[in-house]
Amino acid sequence: SVVFYGLVLLMMFGFIINITVMALCIRELSYKYNSFEIQNFRNFFSVIILFILFILNKKAKINTYQLRNNFFRNIFHFIGQSCWTWGLTVLPLALVFSLEFTMPIWASIIALVFLKEKITLNKMLFLIIGLIGTYTILLPGTNNINFYNLIVLFSAIAYAVAHNFTKKLTETDSILSILFLDSSYNDVLSV
């Protein structure tokens, strides 16, 4: 139990470092490249890394049993990724991260409405706290509501839709297949 929570903590710390480094790289690259070029590089190298993982894992297969859901997941993920990448080039990093971390709120609402998931008291409490936090970020003086912020907020919603499709896809498809199809499809869209 302690080892499990230690591993989870380590993975979360790794995720925070990863997403922060990626955001800093996107910000730095944005002085020379547009957001679609940056995404194209990211997705191209993701496909290569995933392809290597498939080669190393003899049992892994690139297939899907839910082509339609994969298609819609990839469209929403691409929209979210595009809006987030663009937002990183025009807004302060702290604001982008604050708005992006509303994604779990939207994912819960979407799962409640479309996947008919049950909502517990704890989920409801966290949703309310999250919405209050988002309101606090956006409305300290009402000068923070602008087009750029709404685009990043929209990226969080698009990511939330994509994550709900991912949840549905994991019922039949492997994580590596979902990631490979996503990266290769987004690579095509980024061109």
Which pLDDT belongs to residue 140?
64
- H-type alpha helices, 101-146: 103-114, 121-138
Between CA 158 and CA 76 the distance in angstroms is 5
Between CA 40 and CA 33 the distance in angstroms is 11
Could you tell me the pLDDT band of residue 185, with boundaries at 50, 70 and 90? low
Between CA 89 and CA 103 the distance in angstroms is 20
Residue with tokens 């939330």: 160
Collapsed DSSP state (helix, strand, coil) of residue 142? coil
- Summarize pLDDT for 124-153 with one digit per residue, the tens: 888 888 888 877 776 665 566 788 888 999
Could you tell me the pLDDT band of residue 173, with boundaries at 50, 70 and 90? confident
By CB neighbour count within 10 A (0-12 exposed, 13-18 middle, 19+ buried), where does 55 fall? Answer: exposed
Read off the pLDDT of each residue in 20-32 and give the average, rounded to a whole number.
Answer: 92
What Cα–Cα distance (Å) separates residue 99 from each residue in 46, 52, 135? 25, 34, 10
Read off the pLDDT of each residue in 162-181 and give the average, rounded to a whole number.
Answer: 85
- Summarize pLDDT for 89-122 with one digit per residue, the tens: 998 888 888 888 889 889 988 888 888 888 888 8
The DSSP letter of residue 132 is: H
What Cα–Cα distance (Å) separates residue 131 from each residue in 27, 122, 136, 171? 27, 14, 9, 30
Between CA 25 and CA 28 the distance in angstroms is 5
Read off the pLDDT of each residue in 3-8 and give the average, rounded to a whole number.
Answer: 91
Mean residue pLDDT across the chain: 84
Read off the pLDDT of each residue in 145-167 and give the average, rounded to a whole number.
Answer: 90
Q: Pick the more confident residue, 162 or 66.
A: 162
Q: Are 47 and 180 in contact (CB under 8 A)?
A: yes
Which pLDDT belongs to residue 26?
92
